[in-house]
Amino acid sequence: MKSLSLLNRITPITMAAVICVATFNSTIAAALDRTIDDFSDPTNNSLGFERQFVTDAVSGGQTSMEHSFEAGIFSAKGEISPPRGQPGWASTVLLLESQGLPQDVSAYNGIRLLVRVNKGNLSISANSSEITNFDYHAALVTRQADNEFHEVVIPFSEMKRAWSEQTSLNTKTLTSLSIVAFDIQQGAFDYEIDEVSFY
């Protein structure tokens, strides 16, 4: 009878609060090991959103990029041909939400990659809706001499802006991640990625 009496005292508001807390906790737990892209699908990332490919052609450059998928490995190669007086680049964009709306990823510490850089320069950026001049917080992905796949772990706290005043990355406002091959002069790039995730 005591347990029945206790149940009678639980109001609908209390019950709703308990359900919300339980759902919130289970969502956070599930999100901690979220994979952004394992490249098992040739069109969409692991969150179900179509990848986007953009080059400096939008700003007068002539950079070319080819990409392919094989056994869960994303391969990209091309030629950087920068616009006059600007760096050249080729970007693979991984959306975190279908409309590019800001997402709260503050439960994570940073970005993890399984990557092999065969040629050229590569970086990854965390794109925040607060940044309006495209100078997103980014970090270099260093090429290793053994030409093997390596796990690269990049804390959000170590990601920096290139030419703007340094600001802290607001991880509650991320819209996408961008994998960017770049150079200040003409040159080739070639890289492969097995996985992109938060950690």
The pLDDT value recorded for residue 154 is 98
The single-letter code of the amino acid at 3 is S
Among 121, 131, 189, 124, which residue's Cα sits nearest to residue 163? 131
- Contact present, 34 and 109 (Cβ < 8 Å): no
- Residue located via tokens 């969150």: 47
| Tens digit of each residue's pLDDT (9 = 90 or more) over 102-121 | 999 999 999 999 999 999 99
The percentage of residues in the chain with a pLDDT greater than 90, rounded to a whole number, is: 81
**pTM score, whole prediction:** 0.82
The pLDDT value recorded for residue 24 is 36
| Tens digit of each residue's pLDDT (9 = 90 or more) over 95-104 | 999 999 999 9
The pLDDT value recorded for residue 147 is 84
Is the per-residue pLDDT at 4 higher than 90?
no
Rounded CA-CA distance 188/169 in Å is 31
| Tens digit of each residue's pLDDT (9 = 90 or more) over 20-63 | 333 333 333 334 348 999 999 999 999 999 999 999 999 999 99
Is the per-residue pLDDT at 189 higher than 50?
yes
